[in-house]
Structure 1
Amino acid sequence: MHIELRQLRYFIAVADEMHFGRAAARLHMTQPPLSQTIQALENALGTPLFVRNTRSIALTPAGLALLPEAQRLVQQALGLPQLVQRAAAGASGHLSLAFVSIADYSVLPPYLREFRAAYGDVQIELREATSDVQLDALEKGQIDAGLLIPPLPDRLLPLLDYRKVLAEPLMLAVPEAAAARKKPDALASYKDLPLIIFPRKIAPALHDVILGRFRDEGLTPLIGQEAIQMQTIVGLVSAGMGIALVPQSVSNLKRPGVVYHALKAPSAAGGATLTAGSGTVEIGVAWRRDNPSPVLQAFLNLLRKNPEC
């Protein structure tokens, strides 16, 4: 069976006018080719659509059943150009985005709000994952982009692009009972308490920045617990299991029994201040450079508005 959209348009015009002559005038054509088109449609469907006599026509039961479906199909066809143009502009479609837990307390919520406001027809799939899991998913093409902690491994540099989104200092998270009896902003005041930290294999850059902050103070921390989620780390601090160094935005995560303190800039021997990124954590977005998705490009364009990017 071969049915053309043109045939359905002609059928709708005749059904609306209930007169072949008026329908032909409405379609800017003569009556004979209109009649031939309707007959071809009836032959294709295997049943008459109109009851004809010398003075009037009427829809058959088959014509009555076809009319609303024909109207729906023609209306959908009229919307195809806009549908395609919106998809090409990234205004509709699907975005699969992974993020480290740190991003959930900083850049992710405002970016999602702004993106949803501008691209309300895009379906967003969110997945919380550590940086190593995100890199594996990007390599396999399972996600469009990931908000993660750099650096990218050398083997993925030819495949992935990366852009910095945020850099923020570390803060000290301590049990409330310990904070009451120690100097709040001095890391050395808490050297007797265990450190709760990310495993290095999960987030090597964050792990190294945290331990580097201790080295800048001439301290060697006692690592008491390892955890892969910021919520878990702060929860362990709340339980009095130790202290943690967390990105500044994590201080938005309020837990009973946890106190956050900004840290003084560390000083080197002789009083020279160490300023070369000491105690700073970076978050960025990574994506496959061969991903042609217009939705991904729309999301990246949003990130470009951020002065940090």
Structure 2
Amino acid sequence: MKETLVDLRAWRQFLAVAEELHFGRAALRLHMTQPPVTQAIAQLEKTLGIVLFDRTRRRVALTPAGEALLPDVRDLLERAQALPARARAAAAGEVGRVRLAFVSTIGFAHLPQWVRDFRVLCPQVALELVEATGDVQLEALARGEIDAGLMLHSPGFAPPGLALLRVAQEPLVLALPAAHPCARAERPAVADVLAEPLVIFPRRIVPSLHDAIFGLYHAAGRVPVIAQEAIQMQTIVNLVWGGLGVAWVPESVRQFQRDGVVYRAAGELARTGRGKATVVLPACETSLVWPAGGANPALARFVAFVREREVAGR
């Protein structure tokens, strides 16, 4: 059976009578005459099929059913009164939801502080976080399952159809077993490690950065010897500790300390063949990406927040 909806005006009249327990005073409070209020309550009771008030010549009292309804009616009317302000806040991005995916490396540095500050600044915006690699983020963005992502990539990365805000730039450093001979040098020569087995992420995870690392080897006339692939940077470092090989990781991964693993900035690499130019070592960037032309005001507020932090951090 389909229930008949009761409009807010009828509930306001019910609340006035319930709080005044007098039809005359309730009518004055509502700026009405008494007969329409009496008729409205009678119609409400008929619609609901229950008696809300016991009436005598001497008194008006709520029935048990009326008493039970009273707290819910107060809550309903308070929420209805707050709706216009909430709608304006939602349009301004002060209320809403941002589903944000992120790579693990941003969690070593910026992300924890950003989350804390943004929740203080916009407490009514639900910031929902999910850790995901770049390939998973791009698929989720295409399906509309997330609103934005913090992705790792090489400089110059520009995903089609997405807006991009660079938030971090850092070099790649070597993760080496502590017992490795190159670990004793403050800046080991790149040529000394290019023949070592390599622990690296699969190309599908961050194609641009994977290609940049391979480009370094090819510039030196080497072909990387892949010992093991792993998705998470923490796993890559743990595999280095296990002696499977060496790895190139973003500098921020230094904050992940693992006994038996050291991080070293590599020295310059001279190009083989003609000329004496040096090969530029790969660097990486982390960017906030989101659908171009998106209409989520809460996301726009978060992007502006991150942009302010990125500018301040320069």
TM-score in same-fold range (> 0.5): yes
Distance 1:109 1:58 in 2: 55
Q: Partner residue of 2:299? A: 296
Structure 2 residue matching 1:173: 3-state secondary structure: strand
Distance 2:232 2:220 in 1: 26
Structure 2 residue matching 1:263: 3-state secondary structure: coil
Structure 1 residue matching 2:179: 3-state secondary structure: helix
- Offset, 1:89: 2.7
- Alignment check: 8 A CA contact 2:197 2:246 kept: yes
- Alignment check: 8 A CA contact 2:169 2:286 kept: yes
- Offset, 1:210: 2.1
Alignment of 1:188-199 (within 5 A): 188-199=191-202
Distance 2:236 2:178 in 1: 15
Q: 1:105 to 1:25 in 2, by over 3 A?
A: same
Which TM-score applies when normalising by structure 2?
0.85
Alignment of 1:80-95 (within 5 A): 80-95=83-98
Distance 1:255 1:96 in 2: 31
The one-letter code matched in structure 1 to 2:42 is Q
Structure 2 residue matching 1:291: 3-state secondary structure: coil
Render the CA deviation track for 1:160-188: whole Å, top value 9, x for unaligned. Answer: 22222211111111110115764331223
Q: Partner residue of 2:266? A: 263
Alignment of 1:106-185 (within 5 A): 106-150=109-153, 157=160, 159-179=161-181, 182-185=184-187
How many aligned positions are there?
305
Distance 1:270 1:100 in 2: 39
Give unpaired runs (5+ residues) of structure 2: none
Which TM-score applies when normalising by structure 1?
0.86
Q: 1:233 to 1:45 in 2, by over 3 A?
A: same
- Offset, 1:194: 1.4
Q: Which has the higher mean CA deviation after the structures are superposed, 253-262 or 10-19?
A: 10-19
- Alignment check: 8 A CA contact 2:176 2:183 kept: no
Percent sequence identity is 46
- Alignment check: 8 A CA contact 1:182 1:189 kept: no
Q: Partner residue of 1:69? A: 72
Q: 1:65 to 1:113 in 2, by over 3 A?
A: closer
- Alignment check: 8 A CA contact 2:183 2:262 kept: no
Is it true that 1:4 corresponds to 2:15 in the alignment? no
Structure 1 residue matching 2:196: 3-state secondary structure: coil
Q: Partner residue of 2:54? A: 51
The one-letter code matched in structure 1 to 2:151 is L
Q: Partner residue of 2:225? A: 222
Distance 1:164 1:127 in 2: 20
Structure 1 residue matching 2:51: 3-state secondary structure: coil
Q: 1:209 to 1:110 in 2, by over 3 A?
A: farther
